[in-house]
Structure 1
Amino acid sequence: METLRVAEAADRVVVTLDRPERRNAIDQRMVDELHEVCEALERDPRILVLTGSDGVFASGADIAELRERTAVDARHAINATIFTRIAELPMPVIAALDGYALGGGAELAYAADFRLGTPRLRVGNPE
């Protein structure tokens, strides 16, 4: 995977959003890779832990990519698919949050069943 680091154990899968050069901004590649993780978990259920790299959970949608789409298309492609799928997973989903969780990053955290944050956590929807 290009945008995620996945560590698997018998009882859990830890997925680290790993686009530090973009502060873990969510792009279509990340959405596609998160769908791959969900597909695997639907076949072999385990706890899912979502976290971010380099002290940032996720800074939201990748604005550079959004410029190439209409606003409605961009929101539909990200929000209506992966956030709902994660929220509906039949196993516990934990968001381990540090740094910023903004816009789509906050929504990704909201999709989890449990959210745990460090004192450095800042959640918001700046758009």
Structure 2
Amino acid sequence: MYRHLGGDAETLLAPVPLHRWRIWKRGYNQSALIAGALAKRSGLPCELGLLERVKATPPLKGKGPRERALTVRGAFRVPARMKPRLNGRTVLLIDDVYTTGATVSVCAKALKRVGAARVDILCWARVVRADD
């Protein structure tokens, strides 16, 4: 069960969303696929619409930490219809790759700003550089 991931019954799974143009081009959101699989195994609810990506951003590959943070600033929001779901709850935010944390940081701020008590991050892969 989810105990092994560190959550409880009040925890929601939420993938980092892609912008609609990127989904149309790619055909899938890998973070949503991971979140869906975790939901099936853990029994926790997966909220695909908990966050929206409202700003199309260029690929972050090759950008440094500061440039990544500037690129994703203002790119995510919690839709009004989802705000009541967050009140005092923990969100397990699912991302496919963690590089500098810029994307998950702005997502976590958006979730906490509207009522999430806690946001934990679970990623599939971590980029490690020689200078880390």
TM-score normalised to structure 1 length: 0.34
Higher Cα Rg, which structure: 2
Instruction: Give the strand-richer structure, 1 or 2.
Output: 1
TM-score normalised to structure 2 length: 0.34
